[in-house]
Chain A
């Protein structure tokens, strides 16, 4: 890949007679539509693709903050705190040191005659090469000369060409142009709207599809104007979607949508559940990713089947927890639960069941709140401040099962409004304990897993799975989250991308159909008018 970029750059260099002749963004009327802070994975993937996998990224990243159901949305809202920049600074110095170390130098586009002296021509070649890849656009002539100047001064100061390059590269890595994905738009003729420029299109596409920085070919298509033609755009979208790297992109999306980072702070009671260990979380997360990617991507299946499938992937640890004999070699194996297991799709995987539970007890309310938000895009309001549990906890009237406790909510109209929606979902999953194990009794009482939501009656996890499978709000919610995720929006309505949603529906809810029709539609690259550049339409924020 690096060779391709090099060829592309030398082409530009040849045309322009040595100077990079790409229009400086400041010379036009373009405006910033959104600035999205790279996530940890996006940063790591970018460094691996720009410099190679041998370059280590050592450091910590500031957390993101789930907003409107997605971590991705917060990347368009958060800045970098002093603690965050301190870490970016250290990582930049560390990466630049590795890239200019003796053993890496052969990979650089050129070498100076004398490694102890500055060499502007070679420095320029190195910095324009990496500048394009890091900023996802060519450096302007002024930017490039500034960085070359820094490299020269530092080389003079240290009597070391590579130290000069090291500090100039480190500077590039510390600039917002790298740390944030900058989306630039150019205004339309009337100035009432705008459209993303070519490099911003390439960037949005690449992070959506591959969860990383655009590759040389995509940057070439941006530079040549191809991405502004529909044939050129379709060609690139097809190329990105045909690549195995699509899996990384879709994993990142589902990891966010399914709130898998909840695992970062899940702890289980080791007295009550000695089988649980922190490694269990890693396995459980991977199981769900394998199931989703296997069904939606590799098998091109109907996304609704994620609610009902009994096919999954397990490793030794999970086999132990699921009570399945693991008589296989290798780490992971495809497995189909028998019907009588009561399991239903990702709803009954250890991930979903354990993330939304207490350390020592399952929580129908937590599960209900989470699943409604994740799969139906229906957030639940906070309970009232003076939430009254006296009926639930009256010691004179001991309530044995959790169901009885929760049903007590229905004696209070304020509580009932939400609990009638959340609890049936959670109660139908009560056949599974806080770490996802199957059970038939709770506190010695047999568990009743029947449920009724708005007149629809079902029983157990498999009933819930079918209910969600048949609920049109579920695929609509997946589409909505994918669209919001790709644009970093706080919220999106299916009505905002009707063609893509129709294609999704017509395909029988195939992820690829949705992804492609979003990516090739003009509206995906449309921007608001200049002066009101925030793509996060505030009027839509409150709806979520």
Chain B
């Protein structure tokens, strides 16, 4: 029998049994005291943006380094945000003895600081999860991921191993998770916690107490799986706890109506141009209303299947089959897909920058890491992997720089961002990707 006094107390409020209605509500509001009032510093958010198959080196890398860098043809869509952007070129991705897993090793290295053994697996928590552990406490969702090409498997967010946190595959599913059942609108004056959440939370606590029973009789690998299971149980418990408290928000936003179920999310570029901004807007509103502080948006799989109607090849296949134009010196169709990818990134930044809060915009209070899997997709090379970072981390990250090829390992970007986000970390990554020194010139 595991059902004891402790469980009972968990389902109660300051020792008194919480039944429905007002006394329970009061007790929650009181217990947080100051936390419910405005004036608290705004949280800093972390976002990732993933697109597959990279860019074309001769067309995206600015010639000049520093703040006076020259705009390039492939970064052009990001022009409106150049003062809020950092561009990293010439990053190395040393894989040591690990294989160069096509369309995987590069993104895993940027995302974990560890070169992976196996394609499709991460050797550790991904950076968004490492950051979420620090900045994501006390809000409803530790992280939220979405795939604008409509595939829940397109997620580069993981607690390590084979399991990836699935992405929401449609605008409606993203909307439902964020603003469907369980959501109390903090932009409205009549916010009050749902008493059922309290009871449901005590049921989840009861589930958690079965952990010991479940763990018996298991071999090592199944123990690890059940460990992850109960970690997930715990996160749902914390989510419910968070749902009982009114989030502190500064932004003047309102929750939109649910998007239509008929919106098609797939790899056709006209659809991506509709779905990406829509998902970005929903993510931005979730960040502004403090439903989550970590939002991941991917627009493709690593083998980027984006296609312009009428092009029988599409992005990924073009990188391998389109000849390098001898006069231009690059693959012209691939270039168009590269630019289209940056336009989608710009669409994401636009939504973040459109929301005013406090002394700036949501983007100013965020860090967005845009990353990819290949430096030169045609030959699957990873050295020179493009990484773009937007947002000033509430003033802790200087922006507007082009950090040019200084031979740093790609993990140096991840370390710098974690420092800017207040993650206490001295080294990051493993083997040749292990780094100790962040880009101090970027840290304010």
Q: Point out residues on A near B: beta carbons under 8 Å.
A: 25-26, 30-32, 34-35, 60, 62-63, 65, 74, 77-86, 89-90, 93, 142-143, 145-146, 149-150, 153-154, 157-158, 167, 170-171, 174-177, 184, 264-265, 267, 269-272, 278, 358-361, 382-383, 385-387, 389-390, 392-395, 434, 531-534
- Verify B268–A79 contact, CB threshold 8 A: no
For window 201-221 of chain B, which residues contact chain A by CB distance below 8 Å? 203-204, 206-207, 210, 213-214, 216-219, 221
Say whether B3 contacts A26, CB under 8 Å: no
Contact A359 B267, CB 8 Å, known A153-B3, A171-B206, A393-B322: yes
Q: Is B311 a contact of A157 with CB atoms below 8 Å? A: no
Q: Are B19 and A393 in contact (CB under 8 A)?
A: no
Q: Decide: A174 and B152 in contact? CB cutoff 8 A.
A: no
Contact of A65 with B120 in the complex, beta carbons under 8 Å? yes
In-complex Cβ contact of B159 among A31, A81, A383, A434 (8 A): A81
Q: How far is the CA of A78 from the CA of B166 in the complex (A)?
A: 12
Q: Which residue of A lies closest to B18 (CB)?
A: A157
Is there contact, CB below 8 Å, between A63 and B152? yes
- Which one, A82, A93, A265, A534, contacts B165 given CB within 8 A? A82
Look across to chain B and name the residue whose beta carbon is closest to the beta carbon of A366.
Answer: B317
Which residues from chain B contact A271 at a C-beta distance below 8 Å?
309-310
Given the contacts A63-B166, A65-B162, A171-B207, A82 and B236 also touching, CB distance less than 8 Å: yes
Contacts of B225 in A (CB 8 A): 35, 77-79
Residues of chain A lying within 8 A (CB to CB) of residue B226: 35, 79, 176
By beta carbon, the residue of chain A nearest B309 is A271
Q: Are B232 and A81 in contact (CB under 8 A)?
A: yes
Tell me the minimal C-beta distance from B172 to chain A in angstroms: 11
Q: How far, in Å, is B276 (CB) from chain A's closest CB?
A: 15
Interface check B33, CB cutoff 8 A: no
Given known pairs A60-B173, A63-B153, A267-B267, the reply for A386 and B312 (CB within 8 Å) is no
Known: A82-B236, A272-B312. A176 touches B3 (CB 8 A): no
Bound CA–CA A65/B159 (angstroms): 16
B115 to chain A, nearest CB (A): 14
A371 to chain B, nearest CB (A): 19
Assess whether B189 is interfacial by the CB under 8 Å rule: no
How far is the CB of B119 from the nearest CB of chain A, in Å?
8
Smallest beta-carbon distance A191→chain B, Å = 15
Q: Shortest CB–CB separation between residue B245 and chain A, in angstroms?
A: 18
* Structural contact, A385 and B100, CB atoms closer than 8 A: yes
Query: Are A82 and B203 closer than 8 Å at their CB atoms?
Result: no
A36 to chain B, nearest CB (A): 10
Query: Counting CB contacts under 8 A, is B70 at the interface?
Result: no
- Checking A90, A177, A358, A385 against B379 with a beta-carbon cut-off of 8 angstroms, the contacting residue is A385
Shortest distance between the CB of B432 and any CB in chain A (Å): 18
11 A-B pairs with C-beta separation under 8 A: A60-B173, A77-B225, A81-B166, A82-B165, A89-B200, A167-B199, A174-B207, A267-B266, A359-B305, A385-B380, A533-B219
Q: Which residues of B are found within 8 Å of A82, using beta-carbon distances?
A: 142, 159, 165, 231-232, 235-236
Q: Which of B364-388 contact A (CB under 8 A)?
A: 379-381
Q: Are B321 and A170 in contact (CB under 8 A)?
A: no
Q: Chain A residues near B321 (CB, 8 Å)?
A: 389, 392-393
Which A residues lie within 8 Å of B326 (CB)? 395
Q: Which residues of A contact B11 (CB under 8 A)?
A: 157
User: Among A81, A143, A358, which residue has its beta carbon within 8 angstroms of that of B163?
Assistant: A81
Given the complex of chains A and B, what is the CA–CA distance between A87 and B286 in angstroms? 18
Asked whether B102 is an interface residue with its Cβ less than 8 Å from the other chain, the reply is yes
Q: What residues of chain B have their CB less than 8 Å away from a CB belonging to chain A?
A: 1-3, 8, 11, 17, 19-20, 100, 102, 120, 142, 145, 150-153, 159, 162-166, 173, 177, 181-182, 199-200, 203-204, 206-207, 210, 213-214, 216-219, 221-222, 224-226, 228-229, 231-233, 235-236, 239, 264, 266-268, 305, 307, 309-314, 317, 320-323, 326, 379-381
Q: Are B8 and A153 in contact (CB under 8 A)?
A: yes
Give Cα A34 to B214, complex, Å: 13
User: Shortest beta-carbon distance, B344 to chain A, in Å?
Assistant: 17
Which residues of B have CB within 8 Å of A264?
151
Neighbouring B residues of A146 by C-beta, 8 Å: 1-3
Chain A hits for B313, CB < 8 A: 358, 360-361
5 A-B pairs besides A361-B312, A390-B323 with CB distance below 8 A are A78-B163, A79-B229, A81-B232, A82-B159, A85-B232
**Nearest 5 pairs of A and B residues by beta carbon:** A360-B312, A361-B312, A85-B232, A533-B219, A393-B323
Complex CA–CA separation, A25 to B214 (angstroms): 11
With a CB–CB cut-off of 8 A, which chain B residues contact A83?
145, 165-166
Give complex CA distance A79, B314 in Å: 34
Say yes or no: A534 contacts B222, CB within 8 Å: yes
B232 and A80 contact, CB distance less than 8 A: yes
Contact B199 A157 (CB under 8 A): yes
Residues of B within 8 A of A32 (CB): 217-219, 222
Kindly list chain A residues whose C-beta atoms are within 8 Å of the C-beta of B181: 90
Chain B residues contacting A93 (CB-CB under 8 Å) are: 200, 203
Q: Given the complex, which residues of B lie within 8 Å of A65, measured CB to CB? A: 120, 153, 162
CA A99 to CA B120, docked complex, whole Å = 40
A183 vs B414: C-alpha distance when bound (angstroms):
42
Q: Are A387 and B379 in contact (CB under 8 A)?
A: yes
**Contact residue among B1, B213, B380 (Cβ-Cβ distance under 8 Å from A149):** B1
Q: How far is the CB of B337 from chain A (nearest CB, A)?
A: 13
The CA-CA distance from A387 to B374 in the complex, in Å, is: 14
- Complex Cα distance, B407 from A170, in Å, reads 55
B221 to chain A: which residues have CB within 8 Å?
77, 534
A221 nearest CB across to chain B (Å): 24
Closest to B140 in A: A86
Which of chain A's residues have a CB closer than 8 A to the CB of B320? 387, 389
Q: Contacts A65-B153, A82-B142, A153-B8 given; indicate if A175 touches B307 (C-beta within 8 A).
A: no
Closest A residue to B222 using CB positions: A35
Q: Are B219 and A170 in contact (CB under 8 A)?
A: no
A159 to chain B, nearest CB (A): 9
Q: Is the CB of B3 within 8 A of A149?
A: yes
Expressed in whole angstroms, the minimum distance between the Cβ of B71 and any Cβ of chain A is 31
A79 to B159, CA, bound (A): 11
Contacting residues, chain B, for A153 (C-beta < 8 A)? 3, 8
Name B323's contact: one of A177, A358, A394 (CB within 8 Å). A394
Q: Which residues on B sit within 8 Å (CB–CB) of A81?
A: 159, 163-166, 228, 232
Closest to A383 in B: B102
Residues of B within 8 A of A392 (CB): 321
Which residues of B sit under 8 angstroms from A265, Cβ to Cβ?
A: 150-151, 153, 266
Chain B residues in 8 Å Cβ range of A395: 323, 326
A469 to chain B, nearest CB (A): 32
Instruction: Check B311 against A360 for contact (C-beta < 8 Å).
Output: yes
Given the complex, which residues of B lie within 8 Å of A394, measured CB to CB? 323
A174 partner residues in chain B, CB cutoff 8 A: 203-204, 207, 233
